[in-house]
């Protein structure tokens, strides 16, 4: 018998037919004797609908009241799933974020989980009752409802799994695992059996949409084994062909057991939600760059791919960087408000860009990964506008129109294509 947390996303909960399919899947796991908690998202599109109402009510809405509205989507699906489980003979009840409670800190609309009180939850699971928990929501210290930011149900599931010391956290989505790249772009993309936390964290942060970045970071910190599965497979299937997210040590042990070699590159990710900003004619002196990025950091705007051009006259230089496309207007407003302190000439922006990333822990011990990327793109006439790297990732900024071509040629260049059928 194992203790398992099952999480179902919006597409899995989109209507009563799919909720009944989820209930059948949960029942199958319960019938095997496992203790089960289920974390659910709102129905697909429901959160967007509720956010739209908030914007209609007030352009400058109160984030605390926003949380009250948008948390309703998960409350509906948790109640519906609990009802459906009871209708097929499975003991179940819903536990809202404030009932456990899931305590959160920091700001409304982007809260972080601090603690989860689990005594009642574990007692219910041990008695054979399925706990159905709405993802994405919690409770602030003042007792008010809070939400964790878009995609927060993944984080809720991992946090619950860590709190109840679950053997595994199964994330059910509309894909059957983590692929070497988006299979809609590359038909010969391969599903991965195992991915390390670090690799998944990098893939999630640079555009892979399978898991929310914060959930992967939390799983790595707490040592939660995560499995990505499709909610559209046969709900009674025992041999679940998903992707396990594991530690580096667990991956090495598995490779040793199967006598397989570690793949140099794990995957290629792309992100079209990037915007490029060029701040021109910035004084070339100590503190000038800090005057650009400090106000952006104070506004919680994430900056990536920073390039400072060489100063030809030792007096002025251009600074190029990227921000999330949704933060572009706010970034420009902040820079303009600080123009006198920064001393720049003008700001140039470009939203027609995309970030392409090559990720793999194998590059720690192999040279030439970046060179292969640059050469491959050059051979297809794809210009690189900016570069950023980490220990297991190389990212480049290119023209948005060349995204699919870049992903395909890089996938082939690194030997990731599945054999032809």
Q: Which residues are annotated as a binding site for ATP?
A: 7-10, 173-174, 179, 184, 209-210
Q: Which residues are annotated as a binding site for substrate?
A: 47, 74
Q: Please give the DSSP secondary-structure letter assigned to residue 134.
A: E
**End-to-end Cα distance, the chain:** 39
Q: Which residues are annotated as a binding site?
A: 7-10, 47, 74, 173-174, 179, 184, 209-210
Query: Is residue 121 a contact partner of residue 95, using CB atoms and an 8 Å limit?
Result: yes
Nearest residue to 354 (alpha-carbon basis) of 179, 185, 187: 185
- The CA distance from 172 to 85, in Å, is 17
Nearest residue to 205 (alpha-carbon basis) of 264, 151, 147, 136: 151
Secondary element (H or E) of residue 38: strand 35-40
* Peptide bond before residue 101 is cis, with ω within 30 degrees of 0: yes
Quickly count: other Cβ atoms within 10 Å of residue 315's Cβ.
10
- The CA distance from 370 to 359, in Å, is 11
Query: Is residue 78 a contact partner of residue 160, using CB atoms and an 8 Å limit?
Result: no
- The CA distance from 36 to 27, in Å, is 10
Rg (CA), the chain: 23
């Amino acid at each position: 018998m194992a203790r398992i947390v099952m999480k179902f996303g919006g597409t899995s909960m989109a209507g009563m037919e799919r909720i009944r399919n989820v209930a059948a899947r949960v029942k199958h796991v319960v019938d095997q004797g496992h203790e089960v908690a289920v974390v659910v998202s709102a129905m697909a599109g429901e959160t967007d609908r509720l956010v739209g109402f908030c914007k209609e009510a007030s352009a400058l809405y109160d984030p605390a009241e926003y949380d009250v509205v948008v948390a309703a989507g998960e409350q509906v699906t948790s109640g519906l799933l609990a009802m459906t489980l009871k209708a097929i003979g499975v003991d179940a009840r819903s536990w809202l974020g404030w009932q456990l409670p899931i305590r959160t800190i920091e700001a409304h609309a982007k809260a972080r989980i601090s603690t989860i009180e689990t005594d009642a939850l574990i007692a219910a699971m041990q008695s054979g009752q399925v706990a159905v928990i709405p993802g994405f929501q919690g409770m602030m210290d003042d007792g008010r409802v809070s939400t964790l930011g878009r995609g927060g149900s993944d984080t809720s599931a991992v946090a619950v799994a860590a709190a109840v010391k679950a053997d595994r956290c199964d994330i059910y989505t509309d894909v059957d695992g983590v692929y070497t790249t988006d299979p809609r772009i590359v038909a010969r993309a391969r599903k991965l059996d195992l991915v390390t936390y670090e690799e998944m964290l990098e893939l999630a942060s640079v555009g892979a949409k399978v898991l929310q970045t914060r959930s992967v970071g939390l799983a790595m910190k707490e040592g939660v084994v995560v499995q990505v599965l499709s909610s559209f497979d046969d709900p009674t299937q025992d041999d679940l062909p998903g992707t396990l997210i594991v530690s580096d040590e667990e991956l090495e042990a598995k490779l040793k057991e199967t006598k397989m070699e570690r793949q140099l590159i794990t995957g290629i990710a792309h992100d079209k939600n990037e915007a490029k900003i060029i701040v021109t004619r910035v004084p070339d002196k100590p503190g000038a760059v800090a005057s650009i990025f400090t106000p952006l950091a104070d506004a919680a705007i994430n900056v990536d791919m920073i390039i400072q051009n060489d100063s030809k006259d030792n007096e002025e230089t251009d600074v190029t960087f990227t921000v999330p496309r949704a933060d572009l207007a706010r970034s420009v407003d902040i820079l303009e408000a600080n123009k006198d302190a920064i001393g720049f000439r003008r700001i140039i922006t470009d939203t027609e860009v995309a970030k392409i990333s090559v990720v793999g822990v194998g590059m720690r011990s192999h040279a030439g990964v970046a060179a292969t990327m640059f050469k491959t793109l050059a051979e297809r006439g794809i210009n690189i506008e900016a570069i950023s790297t980490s220990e297991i990732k190389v990212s480049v900024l290119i023209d948005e129109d060349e995204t699919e071509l870049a992903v395909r040629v890089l996938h082939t260049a690194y030997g990731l294509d599945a054999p032809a059928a």
